[in-house]
Structures are given as structure tokens and as C-alpha cells.
Amino acid sequence: DIQMTQSPSTLSASVGDRVTITCRASQSVSLWLAWYQQKPGTAPKLLIHKASTLESGVPSRFSGSGSGTEFTLTISSLQPDDFATYYCQQYSSFSLYTFGQGTKLEIK
Amino acid sequence: QVQLVESGGDVVQPGRSLRLSCEASGFTFSNHVMTWVRQAPGKGLEWVAIISYDGSYEYYGDSVKGRFTISRDNSRNTLYLQLNSLRAEDTGVYYCARAGEPWTAIAAAPDWGQGTLVTVSS
């Protein structure tokens, strides 16, 4: 099974900060990596797929990079609406998708 | 636009069964792989099951294998999840989600339902 490990688990930052969240896979997932944002009481929202492709309607301050086993999600200038929990997910194998454990982005 | 509406969540005793439904609209349901994802209270997302666009393939997460069954009725645009031998640790919100590309499971999920709550408690 492919394990996904996110770091950090919690991140405290201020409006305007640049933040980066890392996701590591236990084996290569090529580019088949997505990032989701989730706010309390709501369904996850897809931000980025195929490691770096921004979903339609997602602000350009979000960006993704990486391939193989190491990936990053960067928010270039945090806005108040960005404080949420972020999850990576690999979808390289039909038989098993896996989520990271999540990174909670908090206001400092 | 794409709409996914889950139903069937309830409070049930350990060992009992439940069937969840997900009614889809706004896209050609029979062309898309569908998944179930769950979230225990205060915890992260856990992938539960996936089914091919035609129902010919299905896979499960280790924690539900042998107890849960995913199925679909393409004539009714509906996805199902049969939950048997329920345990307290199955408690959570269950979401259905659509693979963003037709015909393939190698796709992220741009569309999710609002979720349905399953509580397993005596």
C-alpha cells in the first residue's frame, strides 16, 4: 500500500505569509497527486490535480509542484479564506487511493 | 451543474447493516468512476471504496474489506454503499465523489456530495 505523509500537521501563519505544505509518498505516484482544501462541516474542495494543474476557479496564489514521491502545495500570499485543512491524495492506482493525514492551517 | 446527493445515514447498533445512496445529476453518470470517502469525527479523510464506470471492478480500503460493498445502478444514476457488520469505528460522514475524467480511475475528484452521517452506537 502507498502511504502518504504530510508535514507539518499544523501550521500557524499570518495573512500575507507564503506557506508551503509537503506531501511524501512511500513509493512513486508519478504525477498522480491531488490537493484538497476542507473547511469545517463542508466537503473537500479540489484545488490541484496532476501535481501542479490548478482546478478551474481556484485562485492563482495556490500552486503545486513535485513528482514521484515528493510534492508541495504553496500558497503565495495567505488570505483569510485560506485558513482550513489541506489534504494530499494519490490516485496512481485504481485499487487504492490514499490521503495524507492533513495539515491544519491556523491563524497566528 | 454536477450534483451528488447522499442519503441513508442513520444511528445504528454495532453489528447491524445500512445502505447509503448517492444520486447523481448534471453529468453522464455511466461514464465516470465513483468513490466513497469517509471522515470520522475530528479526523482526516479516509478512502473507502471505488467502482468502475460500468460496475465491473471495485476495490476497498483495508478497514472495510469484506464488510462493505460498493455498487451502482447506471439506469438510475445512483451509487450505493452497503455497510455490514458495522463497528463503532465506522462512525463518520460518508461522502461520494466523482472522478473528474470519464472512463478512468486515474483522476482526482472535483465533485463531492454534502455527506451523510453514520453513527454506530449501542
Phi, psi dihedrals of residue A80, rounded to the nearest 5°:
-55, -35
Query: Can you give the pLDDT at residue A1?
Result: 84
Using CA coordinates, name the residue in chain A closest to B98. Answer: A46
Query: Can you give the pLDDT at residue B114?
Result: 97
Do B45 and A95 make contact, defined as CB atoms within 8 angstroms?
A: no
pLDDT at A83 over 80: yes
Min Cα–Cα distance to chain B from A63, Å: 16
Write out chain B's pLDDT in tens, 122 residues. 999 999 999 999 999 999 999 999 999 999 999 999 999 999 999 999 999 999 999 999 999 999 999 999 999 999 999 999 999 999 999 999 999 988 888 889 999 999 999 999 99
Cis before A8 (ω within 30): yes
Q: How far apart are CA A87 and CA A91, in angstroms?
A: 13
Phi, psi dihedrals of residue A98, rounded to the nearest 5°:
-145, 140
pLDDT at A102 over 90: yes
User: What average pLDDT score do residues A49-75 get?
Assistant: 97
What pLDDT band is residue A96 in, cutting at 50, 70 and 90? confident
pLDDT at A94 over 80: no
A97 touches chain B (CB under 8 A): yes
User: What average pLDDT score do residues A41-45 get?
Assistant: 97
- Tell me whether strands B111-112 and B45-51 are parallel, antiparallel or unpaired: unpaired
Which chain B residues touch A38 with a CB distance below 8 Å? 45
